Amino acid sequence: MRNNKLSFKEKAGAAQEECLCFCEEEASREAMFQAPIELPEGFVVDPAEAVANVTWNADSLSCVIERCFIETGPEPDEIGVQFAVRLQGTVTLLVSVSPVRNQYGQGNGSVSVIRNAEIDQVVYYSDEPDDCPDVSDITIENLVVVPPFYGSPLSVTGTIVLVPEPDQRSYVFTVNTGDSTVSVIDADVNTLVSTISLSDIPTDLGVTLNKAYTYVLHRNANLVSIINNETLTVTQTIPLAGAPRKIQFETGGEFAYILAGGSSIYEINISSQTITNTITVSPAADDFALDPNGQFFYTTNSVIWVVNKYDLNTGQLIESLSNFETPNLIVTPIIGDFAYLENGELRPNGVSVIDLTTFSESSRINRLFDGLITIVFSADGTRAFFLEPYFEAFPENLTVVDTAQHTFITTASLPGVSDLAVTPDNQYIYAAQPDDNTVTVYRTSDYTAVTVIPVGAGPSAIAM
């Protein structure tokens, strides 16, 4: 979205001139209709075999563009302008049902009725002041023949699709600690399409499983910002009692979980965007990971050398492992029954495979690591990408692991990378490079750079 920020004086003047309001009306691209059909005397329709057909005329529909305010940040003066696209008028429907037969079961005709559907609704919000849809693209879906009951006539119900759903765009987000922004890359064309300004320094982020929202963590401000991925604006901020360190999403897609202050796990309902539970963990945790089955979560503590297993619903401590030296980083895939745990008192460190069914070490990755930055799983869970700090003397800082066998496949060199995101088809890696203020796209077939995309200052974390 373009950053059309207005001063309070400008907003007041515009409101008097154009009656600006906040974009509060719910947008809907569809409209329902019901058309009662009276059958001629002596004729019947069998609802079990009846078929409905509709033709329509939308020539009387018109498009109205309405300016309205939208919040672009948590501060009261962080207000931008967006445009509500409203359709008004009438869609004329010619609704028919067949076959229609006489009382003797003879004939194979049809009966029709003309029905007008009145339309007056916002179909979407846009950044552009002239973004009217093509009403010739209207379609009719979900036709159902409803049999008569309790004196009601036969009827046909359906959905008028006023504007088709847009093709879902695939975005890559980076949090930029150098200028307190989030950069948005369109992954279809590998181009920066938006820069979202934030009131506080962003330190990490995560994208919900349905790709509708991006959660941005502000470690120094004890805050979470929520970006609507359709409008690319901040729509909510949630204060926390501690510094947020890491975010995870449970596989059902209903909740986000955030480790904050080392001692609390916050449960956030994604639909309501509110905190619904707070779980206290003890001792304070370095890291945490959700069980893929949604029943448990796991924490690490590198000071007293313990890995804890908690019940996600009750917050109760279930079991502990104390046979690892300085366990710190722990990650789980979306699909699977294992976790990867980095541990080792002295570098290089090892990575243990934890069988989550038995909560025990089942094997170890056959490679040592010089302090992992992160471990990222592919969307299908078949690959894991282990990222170490980059050194010119030891440039192979990416290790690719086969998660079925828990063995490494190959290594590659990704200079200056702080975080990774993998495309759903496993074809490309997006790598954040904070020293260069860029994101480099690497092809996974040979790990060569495909393109370099300038972003904000100091991209430290990335998600897709």
Least confidently predicted of 29-33, 69-73, 170-174, 355-359 = 69-73
Confidence of residue 168 (pLDDT cuts 50, 70, 90): confident
Burial readout 455-464 (b: 16 or more C-beta within 10 A, e: otherwise): bbebbbbbbb
Sequence letter at residue 448:
T
CB-CB neighbours of 335 under 10 Å = 14
What confidence score (pLDDT) does residue 347 get?
82
Digit-coded pLDDT (tens) for 251-262: 889 999 999 998
How far is residue 328's CA from residue 302's CA, in Å, rounded to a whole number? 5
**C-alpha of 320 from chain center:** 33
Quickly name the fold that domain 171-463 has: Methylamine Dehydrogenase; Chain H (2.130.10)
What confidence score (pLDDT) does residue 392 get?
87
Burial readout 180-195 (b: 16 or more C-beta within 10 A, e: otherwise): bbbbbbebeebebebb
Least confidently predicted of 39-48, 213-222, 388-397, 448-457 = 39-48
**Average pLDDT for residues 325-331, to the nearest whole number?**
96
CB-CB neighbours of 424 under 10 Å = 12
Q: Check: CB of residue 145 under 8 Å from CB of residue 97.
A: yes
What confidence score (pLDDT) does residue 73 get?
53
Q: Is the pLDDT score of 11 beyond 70?
A: no
Residue count of the chain, please give it: 464
Distant-in-sequence, close-in-space partners of 409: CB < 8 Å, separation ≥ 6: 383, 400, 401, 402
Confidence of residue 81 (pLDDT cuts 50, 70, 90): confident
Going by C-alpha positions, the residue among 374, 375, 383, 387 that lies closest to residue 426 is 383
- CA separation (Å) from 217 to 124, 433, 455? 29, 19, 19
How far is residue 379's CA from residue 270's CA, in Å, rounded to a whole number? 20
Token digits for 261?
A: 């202050």
How far is residue 298's CA from residue 38's CA, in Å, rounded to a whole number? 64
Q: Is the pLDDT score of 217 beyond 60?
A: yes
What confidence score (pLDDT) does residue 74 get?
56
Domain boundaries, the chain: 8-161, 171-463
Exposed/middle/buried for residue 17 (C-beta within 10 Å: 0-12, 13-18, 19+) = exposed
What confidence score (pLDDT) does residue 295 get?
94
CB-CB neighbours of 53 under 10 Å = 14
What confidence score (pLDDT) does residue 442 get?
97
Q: Is the pLDDT score of 13 beyond 70?
A: no
